Structure 1
Amino acid sequence: MELTFDGEIWYWRGPAPWHFVTVPDDESAAIEAVAALITYGWGMVPVTVRIGGSEWQSSLWPKDGGYIVPIKAWVRTAEQLEVGDTIEVRLTVGA
């Protein structure tokens, strides 16, 4: 399954701080429909993420009935991204 959406980068300060983009409701619903077939536990869903010219393997994290995409530091540096930036995210779900 291929999905493309725009989202804003936000920062979570928890015990392990990280940057994320929230998957919109419609795309989260599409992922939820196949998640049971591809999750490897804890609701994590394997994906290939593409932002700009950067691509990497990751997992969507379940949150508040939807999913969030973790954005690695090297991607933020390579693509010159900051908290609050709205970006296009391309996902290949189950990759």
Structure 2
Amino acid sequence: MIARSTPNGTFDAAVWTAQSTGAWHFVSLPTELADEISDVVDHSRPGFGSVRVSARIGETTWATSIFPDAKRRTYVLPVKKAVRTAEGIVEDDVVTVHIDLG
């Protein structure tokens, strides 16, 4: 068996809101990172295909999940209000995100 390292990554992405609610804010992972993550996660788990991660923007780190988004063909990371407030983030800001698979 070949040992595989867990994909982690740092990337820049624009913050966007979900059209259906306008309240949920997300960033989209780069497709290359999403592909690496998809290659190592257990797709037989129940649920929406979510993957537990630790995320960091600026000085704020939080535990959350990323979710597959078929329309965008990548995973999306929700950026909760507490993080946006702490880091002064608004829609369309480009932020530097670091994620570690949990």
| TM-score, normalised with respect to structure 2 | 0.83
The answer for the alignment partner of 1:41 in structure 2 is 47
Q: Please give the alpha-carbon distance, in whole angstroms, between the structure 2 residues aligned to 1:18 and 1:24.
A: 19
Residues 39/52 of structure 1: CA separation in 2 closer, same or farther (3 Å cut): farther
Shift of 1:51: 0.4
Structure showing the higher strand proportion among its residues: 1
Q: Please give the alpha-carbon distance, in whole angstroms, between the structure 1 residues aligned to 2:38 and 2:76.
A: 12
Unaligned runs of 5+ in 1: none
Q: Please give the alpha-carbon distance, in whole angstroms, between the structure 2 residues aligned to 1:80 and 1:38.
A: 38
Identity score, percent = 33
| Alignment of structure 1 residues 30-69 onto 2, 5 Å | 30-36=36-42, 41-64=47-70, 65-69=73-77
Aligned partner letter, 1:82 = V
For residues 52-77 of structure 1, the C-alpha deviation after alignment (integer angstroms, 9 at most, x for no partner) is 00000000011023100000000000
- What is the RMSD computed on CA atoms of the aligned residues? 1.8
Residues 15/9 of structure 1: CA separation in 2 closer, same or farther (3 Å cut): closer
Asked if 1 retains the 8 angstrom alpha-carbon contact of 2:55 and 2:99, the reply is yes
Aligned partner letter, 1:85 = D
Runs of 4+ displaced beyond 6 Å: none
Asked if 2 retains the 8 angstrom alpha-carbon contact of 1:38 and 1:45, the reply is no
Aligned partner letter, 1:46 = R
| TM-score, normalised with respect to structure 1 | 0.89
The answer for the alignment partner of 1:84 in structure 2 is 92
| Count of equivalent residues | 94
Asked if 2 retains the 8 angstrom alpha-carbon contact of 1:5 and 1:88, the reply is yes
Establish whether residue 24 from structure 1 lines up as the match of residue 3 from structure 2.
Answer: no
Structure showing the higher helix proportion among its residues: 1
The answer for the alignment partner of 2:82 in structure 1 is 74
